[in-house]
A and B are shown apart, each in its own frame.
Chain A
C-alpha cells in the first residue's frame, strides 16, 4: 500500500511556497502560514555576518504579530467565522486559521498580518506580563521541568538547552528594535510557506492566491542560516536534582547521540530507534509487566528519540518511587539493541495505520508538510520509505548507537532532601 495525497505545490514569483491539499467531502479548511524561524534562532548567519539575537525572540514576535493597523487580528478572523492561533517550536513559527466558511477573506487577512509588522512600545510592554505568566504556567508542571532540565544537562552550546519562550531576563528586556530586525530578516515572502488543507476547489484557491500575492514583493535578498556552535559529545552536566511540591519523584535518563549526516538518514533513524524504544519500554516487552509488578514506575513512563542533522538524543522517563531502580533498568535495557521479528511486525502494522490516520488530521498534517518543506524532503516519500523499512534496516540503524554520554535528571518532592 502506498500513501496518497492530492497535493499541489507552487513557488510564487515573490518566492512564497504554496502547498495545497484537497480533501473532498470535508467542510473544514485549515490554512497555515509558516516561517522557518523558532527557538533555535539565537545565532544567525546573515550574508556571512554572525548576528546574535535575544533568546525567545521568535516566540515573542509570534505574540506581537497579531496586530494589523492597530487592530487585533484574532477579532477580525472571528468576524469572518474563523478560529485562529499560532505556535512557535524550536524550528518554525506558524500562524493559522480554520473555518467552514469562505476562505478568501481570511486568507488575505493571514497574508496581510504575517507580511506586515505592526508593533508599538505599548503592545510590547503589555505582552511581557502575558509571556511571563505563560512561563510560570509551564514552570509548575513537573513533566515540563523534567524535560527542560534534561535538555540543559545534555547540551552545553546547542540552543536546545534554551526554552522556546526564552530566558526571563531576555523576555523582560525585549525591545522594539529587536523585534523589527528579527522580523525583517525572517519574514520576507521568499522565506514563508503556506499550507492549505481544504474540501474546496484547490485549483481555484491557487489561482486566487497568485493574484492576491502578485503585488507583494520580496524585499530581502540576504542569505540567512541558523548557526549552531560546536557541541561536544560529552553532556553538559551528568546529574541534576530539583525539588517541587509534588508527591512522587520524576526521573529522566538522557543519552546524547551523534547528529545525522543528512535529512533522510535522520528520518529513518528516528523511526527505527523509536520503534525499538516502543518494543523496549512498552507492553510488548514481557519485562514491562515485571517492572510494573515491582512498582518501578507508574503509568507515566516511556522513552523517545529525536534524531536530526543538528542534534540527536534518546530519553527514558518515569514517575517513580524508586529513581535508582529505574536508572539501573534503563542502563541494562540500552545494552539490548535488537527487536524480535514479531514485535517488528506488530509495530510496523501499527505505524502504517497511524500514518494513514495522520493524513486525515488537518492540524498534524499541515505541521508535517510545513516541516518537510523547510527541511527539504518529500513528506509522502518519507512515509512510504518508512513503511517499506525492513527489520534488517531497522536493526542496522541501532548498531551504531552509543550510550556512553548520559545524564540523569530527578525532580523530587520538597521534603525528600
Chain B
C-alpha cells in the first residue's frame, strides 16, 4: 500500500487499482461489470439506498474507471470522503469502511442489473459513435494496427455487446476478484482506517506488460456524416518506450508539436492560417504513440494535413525557435510542481513509479526534462511513422 500523508486537503482519496489483461474479447464484459458494480451492492441494494448512504456519509463519492496501460487494463475504484478528523460523528469511520467493503467486494451481479448495464453501455457507445471527434479518434486507433492493443476500444464495442451474457460478466468478475489489489491513500487518515485499508492490499509488486506500436504503412480513410465540421485524427508511432532514455524527448516533442502554451501546430495552423479553433497532440505513453486531433472545414483538409507534416519536418530538422523548447520545458516543470497540490496527481505519479519500478523525486524529474536538447527531439522525430489518418467529414452536399 502507498500512503501519501498530507493535511493539505479537505478530503481523503483512496484508490484501489487492479491490473488485468487488456483483451478485445473481454473488454466489453469488463465495461458492463463496471456498470454493474456502480449500480448496487448487497447492503446498498438499490440506487436510492446507495445514493442516500453516500450523501449521509458527508457526500462520499465513489468513481470507477478503466484505463489501458499497454497490454494491461486498470480497473480503478476511487473513494473520496471528507477527512475523518473534521467530522464529529463517532461512527463516521465505520461508515466509510462499510462503504468501501461493499463497493469493492459485494457487488450484485443479477440478471436485472445485467440488462440495465447493457442498456446503459449500449446508449453510451451509440452517443460516442454520434460524436465525430470521438469517432475519428476511434477509427484512427483501429486503423493504426489491428493486432496491437491500441486498436482495442477501451469503452467496449456494440458488436460484442449484442452477444454478451451474464455468464461472461461473472467470469470476468471472478478474474477481477482474483487479481492483486493495490491501494493508494492521499490525505490524512487515523490508524484504524489505515489498518483497514492496508488489510485489503495484496502487497504484491506490479508487473507492466506493453508492446510498442510497430512501424506500418499508413492507412487513410474518410468517413462521411451530416455534421458541421470535419474531424481529423492521426496516429503516429514513436518507437519510444516509457522507460527508455528518449522518453523525456518524446514528451517534449509532443508538447512542442501541439500541447504546450506555445506549440507549432497552434501557431501555424490556427494563428497564422485561421484554419481551426482547436488542434492538439497527445501522447499514448504505454504504446509509443502520439495522437493528433483537430476540427476543420472540409475544403481545408489537404492544406491542414500538409501543414501538420511540415511541423513534423521542422521537429526533425530542428527548424524552430529555441523558445518552443524552453517554454515546453517550463510547462512540464510547472505541471510537476503543481501536481503536488492535487491528490489525484500525487496518486497517479505514485502508481506510475510503482508500475515502472522507478523512484524519482520531483527535482530529479525536472532535471531529466531540462536536459533534453533539440537533437534528442530530432532523434525521436526520425523514428516517427504515420500509422493512420482518419477523417470524419461533412457530407459533400453540405458544402
Q: Mark A residues whose CB is within 8 Å of B.
A: 25-28, 72, 74-75, 77-79, 81-84, 98-101, 126-131, 133-134, 136-137, 139-142, 244-248, 282-286, 288-289, 292-293, 295, 298-300, 319, 342-343, 345-347, 349-354, 356-357, 359-360, 414
A81 to B229, CA, bound (A): 34
Q: Are A353 and B58 in touch, CB under 8 angstroms?
A: yes
B284 within 8 A of A: no
Query: Which residues in A have their C-beta under 8 angstroms from that of B226?
Result: 244-245, 414
* Given A282-B51, A353-B82, A354-B59; A74-B274 close (CB under 8 Å): no
Query: Which residues in A have their C-beta under 8 angstroms from that of B379?
Result: none
Closest to A128 in B: B274
Q: Are B295 and A299 in touch, CB under 8 angstroms?
A: no
**CB-based closest 8 A-B pairs:** A353-B59, A129-B274, A78-B261, A283-B47, A298-B123, A245-B226, A346-B55, A133-B277
Q: Are B56 and A247 in touch, CB under 8 angstroms?
A: no
Query: Which residues in A have their C-beta under 8 angstroms from that of B123?
Result: 248, 298-300, 319
* Given A79-B330, A137-B295, A283-B50; A292-B274 close (CB under 8 Å): no
**Which one of B116, B277, B327 has the highest number of Cβ atoms from chain A below 10 Å of its Cβ?**
B277
With A75-B262, A245-B225 given, name 20 new contacts (CB 8 A).
Answer: A25-B7, A28-B337, A28-B338, A74-B261, A78-B331, A129-B274, A131-B277, A133-B277, A133-B295, A133-B296, A140-B228, A140-B229, A142-B130, A244-B226, A245-B227, A248-B123, A286-B48, A289-B46, A346-B51, A353-B82
B341 within 8 A of A: yes
Closest to A81 in B: B330
Q: How many A-B residue pairs have CB under 8 A?
A: 167
A180 to B8, CA, bound (A): 45
Distance in angstroms from B17 CB to nearest chain A CB is: 23
Q: Are B323 and A246 in touch, CB under 8 angstroms?
A: no
A345 to B130, CA, bound (A): 39
Q: Are A25 and B59 in touch, CB under 8 angstroms?
A: no
A9 to B219, CA, bound (A): 59
Other-chain contact of B229, A83, A137, A345 (Cβ < 8 Å): A137
B179 within 8 A of A: no
B11 within 8 A of A: yes
Q: Are B59 and A247 in touch, CB under 8 angstroms?
A: no
B126 within 8 A of A: yes
Closest to B275 in A: A129
Query: Which residues in B have their C-beta under 8 angstroms from that of A131?
Result: 277
Other-chain contact of A350, B55, B132, B277, B337 (Cβ < 8 Å): B55
Q: Are B48 and A285 in touch, CB under 8 angstroms?
A: yes
A282 to B130, CA, bound (A): 25
Closest to B8 in A: A25
A349 to B52, CA, bound (A): 10
Distance in angstroms from B134 CB to nearest chain A CB is: 11
Q: Are B46 and A286 in touch, CB under 8 angstroms?
A: yes
A356 to B9, CA, bound (A): 10
A60 to B331, CA, bound (A): 27
Closest to A299 in B: B120
Query: Which residues in A have their C-beta under 8 angstroms from that of B277?
Result: 130-131, 133-134, 137
Within 8 A of A (CB), among B320-336: 323, 326-327, 330-331, 333-334
B196 within 8 A of A: no
Q: Are A27 and B51 in touch, CB under 8 angstroms?
A: no
B340 within 8 A of A: yes
Closest to B81 in A: A353
Q: Are A349 and B59 in touch, CB under 8 angstroms?
A: yes
18 pairs, A vs B, C-beta closer than 8 Å: A81-B330, A126-B274, A130-B274, A130-B277, A136-B229, A137-B278, A244-B130, A282-B51, A283-B48, A284-B48, A298-B123, A298-B124, A343-B52, A346-B56, A353-B82, A354-B59, A359-B10, A360-B9
* Given A346-B52, A349-B55; A247-B262 close (CB under 8 Å): no
Query: Which residues in B have their C-beta under 8 angstroms from that of A247?
Result: 126-127, 129-130
